[in-house]
Amino acid sequence: MSGDGSEVRVRGRDFTGYRIGGAIAAALLFLALVVQGWELFDGDARTVPEVAWSAAGDAGGESILTDEILRDRTRLQSQRFRSGPSPDGTAETFKVGDAILLGNRAIDDEDAMLTEIWRLPDDESGSLLRGSERIIGISSLPYANAALFERPFARDWRLGLADVVTHVGAFAILGFSFLLALVLAVRGRVPIAKGRTDRTVKRFGLLERANHWLTAVSFIMLALTGITIAYGRTLILPFGEELLGSLGWLATWGHAMFFPPFALGLTAMILLWTVRNLPSRLDIEWLRRAGGFFSDDPDNPPARKFNAGQKLVYWSAVIGGLLMIATGIFLMFPFWFADLQTMSWIMLTHALIAVFLIAIFIGHIYIGTVGMQGAFWAMWTGDVDRNWAEEHHELWMHELDKGR
Amino acid sequence: MGGFLIGASLSALLAVVTYAALVTFDVEQSPQDEAALVALEGDGERY
Ligand code: HEM
């Protein structure tokens, strides 16, 4: 193969439609990045703890400050203290909206007013309630932790999760998508430089394809539900609390539901593809030349069935996926295996790996669809164009030819 | 396309089975959960 480009029949920049699409996507993503950048400086990039408690108010959705509720409730209680629950029902009822919070009937079982765990914390829950270092004052309010003044670990954790990881994650996902769109706009698709032939070769069998899509569909559902859980307040709340409520509920269920299919797909993927993805010396040369990605020359660095870029994708899926599953299991069984502090770190890890995996797989989906001419069919029909195979997986192609 | 349909349906099917399992074996909120809620919600984010 020569490097003079004389055999180049299709050039990346010829894909005008794709390039316009890329330019539009890049512009929109740039806007999103600006908004995200703005978010960092608009004062709420660091979560400010909510100090006032409030309760849902009347049907109009207004809320009543807890101050007021506490005052009313205290008045009612002091009256009851003097007169006792009134048998003839003349005592006041304490209501907020339609909800009766304190009735005028006698309380049969005083203990029913407290959850068991508040009343008699056993060793296990007792230690949970003292999950981390605390600075505690004195309070007579009848709430657990009312006297808790500060929990330094909670503050660090919130800074890590709500503030750093959420913003870094948004930048990683938006920024990487922006770069990909920009590449599409400027470079166009990676072409089948020698042009399409009418001959194909089989690249993936039905089992491999079915399993790829099992894993991919589950991963995408986990990503979408996870993003709803993590970013719902920013992305969905502007469209209404009702919507956030419904989608949040769906996402919480969906996130647990798509874990088993993902775990199954990932396990099968490990069985099917690990051998082909073991590192080899070829990978160094491939990475050094960035896979020939940026040139239309058909003479790309040689690769067997999977090139170094694909191996990186594979190992991110496997290692990242296994870590997500492990941390996810801890999160599904809160406090079964870990205490409050460990749980918090596990949640942070889960979130951090998730945002990077999402960014990596946006890159994968890009190359598998618009980014590279002819790649998609490998996973859709299982057959790829001979010239595609020769240009991107030269050595694999030779293996196939020898096997014939 | 056959591969996609099989994979996507299997994913959906397993998700529904998981849902059914979660609903069937739903344990009452465990003491641990409850304590955790108290520990987290009532942790008095005050400075
Ligand atoms: C709409 C979404 C997706 C599309 C269109 C897509 C497309 C493809 C294609 C065309 C290939 C074959 C590349 C080749 O011929 O060498 C492939 C391979 C692969 N896919 Fe996907 N994929 C998608 C989502 C995913 C997701 C979400 C995952 C992760 C769980 C994933 C994991 C893999 C892995 C590990 C490989 C083998 C290594 C590689 O080729 O990079 N795919 N995908």
Q: Which of A374, A371, A372, A381 is nearest to A212 (CA)?
A: A381
In a domain, B9, yes or no: yes
CA distance A204 to A45: 46
Contact B43 A258 (CB under 8 A): no
Mutate to test the pocket of ligand 1, among A177, A283, A325, A364 (most ligand atoms within 8 A of CB): A364
Q: How far is B18 from chain A (nearest CA, A)?
A: 5
pLDDT the model gives residue A247: 92
pLDDT the model gives residue B43: 45
Provide, as residue numbers in chain B, all residues whose Cβ is less than 8 Å from the Cβ of A260.
14-15, 17-18
**Structural domain harbouring B26:** 2-42
Residue B34 has pLDDT above 80, yes or no: no
* Number of domains, chain A: 1
In a domain, B47, yes or no: no
In a domain, B23, yes or no: yes
CA distance A368 to A361: 10
For A257, the closest of B4, B10, B19 (CB atoms) is B19
Contact A213 B44 (CB under 8 A): no
In a domain, B32, yes or no: yes
In a domain, A364, yes or no: yes
What's the whole-number average pLDDT of chain A?
82
In a domain, A98, yes or no: no
pLDDT the model gives residue A338: 79
pLDDT the model gives residue A161: 73
In a domain, B30, yes or no: yes
For B43, the closest of A154, A213, A381 (CB atoms) is A154
* Number of domains, chain B: 1
CA distance A295 to A82: 88
CA distance A145 to A126: 12
Residue A366 has pLDDT above 70, yes or no: yes
Q: How far is A171 from chain B (nearest CA, A)?
A: 27
pLDDT the model gives residue A264: 97
Q: Which two tokens stand for residue A363?
A: 């890159």
Residue A351 has pLDDT above 60, yes or no: yes
Is A109 exposed, middle or buried (CB count within 10 Å of its CB: 0-12, 13-18, 19+)? exposed
pLDDT in tens, A267-321: 999 999 999 999 999 999 999 999 988 888 888 898 999 999 999 999 999 999 9
What share of residues in chain A are helix, strand, coil (percent, to 5)?
65, 5, 30
**Structural domain harbouring A163:** 5-40+154-205+274-403
Give this prediction's pTM. Answer: 0.77
In a domain, B38, yes or no: yes
ipTM of the complex: 0.71
